[in-house]
């Protein structure tokens, strides 16, 4: 049954009820939704307005919204009334109860404990390590390119995933990982996530998956992952306790081991340290990898933007005292290299890694006259928010300069790649620095090109927004 589209916001007209996608339509669409969700959701919102009620997978009633005011209400203004939904909490079965999946008083206690480890100064001290890893990753590509006429073809998503996983793994665990184990940990995380997303998006498959032993199998993968990481944590504890042990590495694991609860003066238990370290690995690499992959995709199509980043880099490097090495960049220099920052922000606008954020209402609530009953499940549709033409002029175009001062979005709340409110991404500063550095270093050494005649790269929104499959880029030595 077609319902009238709403003008501005579903609530602006004082509508007492939300437009609804009838259940039968949701069921019909659930297959299309499982296959390629973004076009289905975009079409739905174009038809019904910024906010609509529908059934995920034909089963779970949910409010889908790209209304910036409502998103802000849920994440920030009345955040106390909203918890993460059963979807995020169900993920805890596989990844434990680290910050991302934790709730309530326990979450707050952990957040307060861990937050200082992500302060700006702390991130500034990691920029050297980040640049080392970027240089290590790019060096063999430069050799390969030099040996084959100046170009090397790379699989963009695989390369960015490898790079960001190295960065977060080394930032958490320093150098303890052997390369093969690093790949195994990354592989386990990917496989577990893909399975979990499938159980959410196609809940009707659960009995069949159970029958085929898929739940048991993925529980085993989880156990393997925890054993691997637990081993590293135990090694560190033992190394720290050894008589005459050298000063421990200044990494995020050591931060997790050293912090003490204010009230009890006690450290975290081993299980808590494991949960938090695992969450940092999970939350801290795929998101950045996807944002960087999409950024390279966009820069390959917009060489003038890449040139603008290089020109600014050259100007900042030229302002150094004579004789200084050309890189690495200092944290202060990164603050002046704004063209790369704008490009990163714009890539995350068009392709927000956290494309959907979920919440559930803990008690009855109200927003602009709309009654929100206890238990309402919200799907905060960040991808739609970032591309809605009513909030973004030339919404589908890559225009990094829209993030320059004085060019703020029409509605500031229309940009939320790191979420908002008290659960704002704890790794935001880390991620922004990392992405800027990768962009600067890549563009310093290479032109980034896409082989001619390639079709657009389709999206695959799992927990994060990645490209479907992978795609080739040509890196041309400069």
Q: How far is the CB of 390 from ligand HEM (least distance, A)?
A: 22
Among the candidate windows 16-24, 221-229, 281-289, 390-398, which touches ligand HEM by CB under 6 A? 281-289
- The SS3 assignment for 359 reads strand
| Residue closer to ligand HEM (CB basis): 19 or 352 | 352
Contact in structure between 127 and 437 (CB atoms under 8 Å)? yes
Kindly state whether residue 126 participates in binding ligand HEM, applying the rule CB under 6 A.
no
Q: Residue 314 and residue 443: Cα distance in Å, rounded? A: 11
Give the residues across from 65 on adjacent strands.
51, 380
Kindly state whether residue 162 participates in binding ligand HEM, applying the rule CB under 6 A.
no
Which candidate, 188, 159, 387, 193, places its Cα nearest to that of 293? 159
Terminal-to-terminal C-alpha distance of the chain: 58
Q: How far is the CB of 394 from ligand HEM (least distance, A)?
A: 22
Q: Which residue is nearest to ligand HEM (CB)?
A: 427
| Residue closer to ligand HEM (CB basis): 11 or 418 | 418
Burial class (CB in 10 A: 0-12, 13-18, 19+), 241: exposed
Among the candidate windows 1-9, 133-141, 283-291, 332-340, which touches ligand HEM by CB under 6 A? 283-291
Among 70, 200, 257, 279, binds ligand HEM (CB under 6 A): 279
Kindly state whether residue 280 participates in binding ligand HEM, applying the rule CB under 6 A.
yes
425 is in an annotated binding site: yes
Among 61, 77, 109, 111, binds ligand HEM (CB under 6 A): 111
Which candidate, 388, 365, 465, places its Cα nearest to that of 74? 365
Stretch 344-383 residues interacting with ligand HEM (CB under 6 A): 353-354, 357
| Residue closer to ligand HEM (CB basis): 99 or 443 | 99
Q: How far is the CB of 167 from ligand HEM (least distance, A)?
A: 8
Q: How far is the CB of 279 from ligand HEM (least distance, A)?
A: 5
Q: How far is the CB of 115 from ligand HEM (least distance, A)?
A: 8
Q: What DSSP character marks residue 48?
A: H
Spatial neighbors of 43 by CB under 8 A, at least 6 apart, are: none
Kindly state whether residue 388 participates in binding ligand HEM, applying the rule CB under 6 A.
no
> What does the per-residue mask of binding to ligand HEM show for 295-334, with x meaning CB under 6 A?
----------------------------------------
Q: What DSSP character marks residue 435?
A: H
Stretch 197-256 residues interacting with ligand HEM (CB under 6 A): none
DSSP states of 98-145 as a string?
A: STTT--HHHHHHHHHHHGGGGSHHHHHHHHHHHHHHHHHHHHHHHHHH
Stretch 3-22 residues interacting with ligand HEM (CB under 6 A): none
Q: Residue 441 and residue 372: Cα distance in Å, rounded? A: 48
Q: Two tokens at 442?
A: 């890549």
Q: Residue 436 and residue 449: Cα distance in Å, rounded? A: 19
Contact in structure between 34 and 41 (CB atoms under 8 Å)? no
Kindly state whether residue 152 participates in binding ligand HEM, applying the rule CB under 6 A.
no
Stretch 57-86 residues interacting with ligand HEM (CB under 6 A): 84
Q: Residue 473 and residue 340: Cα distance in Å, rounded? A: 19
Kindly state whether residue 284 participates in binding ligand HEM, applying the rule CB under 6 A.
yes
Stretch 430-449 residues interacting with ligand HEM (CB under 6 A): 430-431
> What does the per-residue mask of binding to ligand HEM show for 407-426, with x meaning CB under 6 A?
----------xxx---x-xx
Q: How far is the CB of 284 from ligand HEM (least distance, A)?
A: 3
Give the residues across from 460 on adjacent strands.
466
Q: Residue 378 and residue 359: Cα distance in Å, rounded? A: 5
Q: How far is the CB of 238 from ligand HEM (least distance, A)?
A: 25
**Please, what sign has the CA dihedral across residues 88, 91, 92, 98?**
negative
Kindly state whether residue 189 participates in binding ligand HEM, applying the rule CB under 6 A.
no
Among the candidate windows 56-64, 253-261, 277-285, 467-475, which touches ligand HEM by CB under 6 A? 277-285
Kindly state whether residue 169 participates in binding ligand HEM, applying the rule CB under 6 A.
no
The CA angle 292-112-254, to the nearest 5 degrees, is: 70
Which candidate, 127, 138, 121, 206, places its Cα nearest to that of 170? 127
Q: What DSSP character marks residue 415?
A: -
Among the candidate windows 121-129, 138-146, 185-193, 427-435, which touches ligand HEM by CB under 6 A? 427-435
Q: Residue 166 and residue 434: Cα distance in Å, rounded? A: 12
Q: How far is the CB of 476 from ligand HEM (least distance, A)?
A: 26
Provide the annotated binding site. 425
Applying CB under 6 A, which residues contact ligand HEM?
84, 99-100, 111, 168, 279-280, 283-284, 287-288, 291, 353-354, 357, 417-419, 423, 425-427, 430-431
């Amino acid at each position: 049954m077609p319902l009238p589209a709403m003008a501005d916001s579903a609530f602006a007209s004082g509508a007492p009820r939300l437009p609804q996608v009838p259940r039968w339509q949701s069921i019909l669409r659930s297959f299309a939704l499982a296959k390629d969700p973004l076009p289905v959701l975009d079409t739905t919102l174009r038809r019904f307005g910024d906010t609509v009620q529908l059934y995920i997978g034909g089963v779970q009633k949910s409010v889908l919204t790209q209304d910036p005011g409502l998103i802000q209400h849920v994440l920030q203004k009345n955040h106390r009334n909203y918890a993460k939904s059963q979807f995020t909490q169900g993920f805890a079965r596989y990844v434990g109860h680290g910050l991302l999946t934790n709730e309530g008083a326990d979450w707050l206690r952990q957040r307060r404990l861990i937050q200082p480890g992500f302060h700006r100064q702390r991130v500034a001290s990691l920029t050297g390590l980040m640049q080392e890893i970027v240089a290590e990753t790019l060096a063999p590509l430069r050799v390969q390119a030099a040996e084959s006429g100046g170009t090397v073809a790379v699989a963009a998503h695989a390369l960015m995933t490898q790079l960001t996983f190295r960065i977060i793994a080394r930032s958490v665990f320093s150098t303890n990982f052997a390369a093969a184990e690093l790949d195994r940990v990354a592989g386990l995380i990917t496989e577990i996530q893909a399975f979990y997303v499938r159980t959410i998006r196609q809940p009707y498959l659960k009995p069949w998956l159970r029958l085929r032993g898929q739940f048991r199998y993925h529980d085993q993968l989880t156990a393997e992952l925890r054993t691997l990481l637990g081993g590293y944590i135990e090694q560190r504890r033992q190394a720290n306790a050894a008589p005459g042990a050298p000063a421990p590495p200044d990494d995020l694991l050591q931060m997790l081991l050293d912090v003490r609860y204010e009230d009890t003066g006690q450290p975290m238990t081993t299980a808590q340290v494991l949960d938090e370290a695992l969450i940092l690995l999970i939350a801290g690499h795929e998101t950045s990898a996807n944002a960087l992959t999409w950024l390279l995709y966009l820069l390959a199509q917009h060489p003038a933007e890449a040139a603008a980043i290089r020109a600014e880099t050259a100007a900042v490097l030229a302002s150094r005292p004579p004789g200084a090495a050309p890189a690495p960049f200092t944290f202060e220099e990164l603050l002046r290299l704004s063209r790369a920052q704008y490009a990163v922000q714009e890539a995350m606008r068009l392709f927000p890694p956290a494309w959907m954020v979920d919440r559930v209402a803990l008690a009855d609530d109200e927003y602009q006259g709309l009654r929100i009953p206890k238990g309402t499940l919200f799907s905060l549709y960040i991808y739609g928010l970032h591309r809605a033409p009513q909030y973004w002029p030339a919404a589908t175009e890559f225009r990094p300069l829209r993030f320059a001062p004085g060019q703020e979005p029409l509605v500031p709340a229309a940009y939320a790649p790191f979420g908002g409110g008290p659960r704002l991404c704890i790794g935001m500063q880390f991620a922004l620095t990392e992405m800027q550095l990768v962009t600067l270093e890549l563009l310093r050494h290479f032109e980034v090109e896409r082989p001619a005649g390639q079709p657009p790269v389709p999206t695959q929104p799992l927990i994060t927004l990645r490209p479907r499959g992978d795609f080739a880029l040509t890196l041309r030595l400069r």
